[in-house]
Amino acid sequence: MVLTHVEELGDAGEAAAAAAVFASRYVQEPVPRYELGERSISKDAAYQIVHDELLLDSSPRLNLASFVTTWMEPECDKLILEAVNKNYADMDEYPVTTELQNRCVNIIARLFNAPVGDGEKAVGVGTVGSSEAIMLAGLAFKRRWQNKRKEAGKPYDKPNIVTGANVQVCWEKFARYFEVELKEVKLSEGYYVMNPEKAVEMVDENTICVAAILGSTLTGEFEDVERLNDLLAAKNKRTKWDTPIHVDAASGGFVAPFLYPELEWDFRLPLVKSINVSGHKYGLVYAGVGWVIWRNKEDLPEELIFHINYLGADQPTFTLNFSKGSSQIIAQYYQFLRLGFEGYKHVMNNCMESARTLREGLEKTGRFTIISKEKGVPLVAFTFKGGAGAGPLAFKLSAGLRRYGWIVPAYTMPAALEHMTVLRVVVREDFGRPLAERFLSHVRMTLDEMDLAAKAPVPKVRLTIELGPARTADEEASVRVVKSEPVTVHKRVPLVAGGGKTKGVC
């Protein structure tokens, strides 16, 4: 039972004051940081304390570092709250929620051109994000490879996976957690995604799959999955191997079908056996939902699927966790129902237009080189002109923009390109032209502030030192600072400008 009222508040005066949180004792008592508090407090006070602390968080809408959705329609917010107490794992108790998940799997599979017939159920599952989806897909590839090696009487203890050095950290987690060697194709100047030729060269008989990225985290660029498929098919034919492809479409999976329908990256390519996508990115749902789709049942080994019946009926399950909320699954279906193909296409077109506004505005400053491609995920990645020496400027710009509320990440590129420092702005549905223009004005203001700071005189300090004699011939004389004082620079600053206005503030 949750306590919402405290019986013993000391005296009637304090009890009356508790109705006004800021007049109560709670705002003066330290909050629990390491141990559970001895006494309960009122629900109003608990809410206000947590609410006030959260005021110091940044605004999600101004977080341009994240791909994750930060706005949904009020009607969908209402559905999310209505389902917040539903455990998705209880499929027998919540059969309609399970049906909505199955509908989402079917819709996404057909969006990715899976070879399923009319009325046929697709193979896939909802996850808490693309990280879990990638773990599940990787496990399926590993088990499938191991089974084939066992049947052939060959060693199966050294699996590897080939990716580009631009992969998200979840691939490194998969490799480390599940003991798979990660073979990364290094990036090169001007080519910031995996080179398909080099990737195929790294493939050997122990490669469980090659992972291609549709929407690089670093630059938003799509990798050439079609070229990778053709090269790998030729190598498979030559070596008699059967190395497949997984497409990490976490960011681009809900972009490409609507903006680039002619681009072949999905199940239209025969070697693509599974695809993951983040519903909470351009699937337009709040954080907490991802999807993984398999080409057909044969690509998901049956022994990885568990069957339970202690919740009321036989339930197949293939997830890394068990209990999870149903709200995001329901929200994903709401978006599919609400927007349809037309709505998603309009949203993605608007995102690309905002990205174009940003790109043009940044180029007009004359200070940046844009390294992201126009065809890809709607984002703008850019560097300061001036080569490696301009790297510190990126971090200064990132810090300066925070004073206006914007969060823009500055990061160094992976191995072989560590000398490059990149800034990246992710364009989401709720970042329209007005916000883009406001952001550009703040970029220009921050650049002016940085230029002004660079021209400021370097502070001077006068040191008085005392030299002591060396005790031996091998020692140097000792030095001790006995006085340190700043050198004051006097400068006249008129308070009245030409128009009669004072420069000072009152």
pLDDT band, residue 486 (cuts 50/70/90): confident
pLDDT digits (tens, 9 = 90+) for 462-481: 888 877 776 676 667 677 87
pLDDT band, residue 7 (cuts 50/70/90): very low
Give percent of the chain above pLDDT 70.
89
Nearest to 378 by CA among 337, 421, 430: 430
pLDDT of residue 314: 63
CA-based angle 63:66:69, to the nearest 5? 90
pLDDT band, residue 9 (cuts 50/70/90): very low
pLDDT of residue 302: 93
- Kindly state the average pLDDT of the residues 276-283: 98
Task: Assess contact for 215 and 376: CB atoms under 8 A.
Answer: yes
pLDDT at 152 exceeding the cut of 90:
yes
Average pLDDT of the chain to the nearest whole number = 90
CA-based angle 174:193:223, to the nearest 5? 85
pTM: 0.86
pLDDT band, residue 390 (cuts 50/70/90): confident
**Paired tokens of 479:** 């030095």
pLDDT of residue 321: 83
DSSP annotation of 63: B
Interatomic CA distance for residues 88 and 91, integer angstroms: 6
Strands of 173-244, DSSP E: 181-185, 207-213
pLDDT at 16 exceeding the cut of 70:
no
pLDDT at 133 exceeding the cut of 80:
yes
pLDDT band, residue 20 (cuts 50/70/90): confident
pLDDT of residue 490: 61
**Paired tokens of 72:** 């949904």
425 Cβ neighbours under 8 A, 6+ residues apart: 64, 358, 379, 380, 381, 408, 439
pLDDT of residue 93: 86
Interatomic CA distance for residues 205 and 218, integer angstroms: 30
Give percent of the chain above pLDDT 90.
76
pLDDT of residue 505: 41
Structure-token match 């009926």, residue found: 313
Helix (H) or strand (E) holding 15: helix 12-17
Please report the DSSP string for 355-399 in residue order: HHHHHHHHHHTTSEEE-S-SSBSSEEEEEESSGGGGHHHHHHHHH
Task: Assess contact for 111 and 256: CB atoms under 8 A.
Answer: no
pLDDT at 404 exceeding the cut of 50:
yes
pLDDT of residue 317: 80
Q: How many Å separate Cα 321 from the centre of its chain?
A: 20
pLDDT band, residue 492 (cuts 50/70/90): low
Q: Is 124 helix (H, G, I), strand (E, B) or coil?
A: strand
pLDDT of residue 206: 98
Task: Assess contact for 344 and 254: CB atoms under 8 A.
Answer: yes
pLDDT band, residue 10 (cuts 50/70/90): low
pLDDT digits (tens, 9 = 90+) for 297-345: 999 999 998 887 755 556 678 888 889 999 999 999 999 999 999 999 9
The H-assigned helical ranges of 86-203 are: 95-111, 130-151, 169-177, 196-202
pLDDT digits (tens, 9 = 90+) for 195-237: 999 999 999 999 999 999 999 999 999 999 999 999 999 999 9
The full set of domains in the chain, from first to last, is 12-57 (4.10.280.50), 77-338 (3.40.640.10), 351-454 (3.90.1150.160)
pLDDT of residue 47: 93
Nearest to 289 by CA among 31, 100, 63: 100
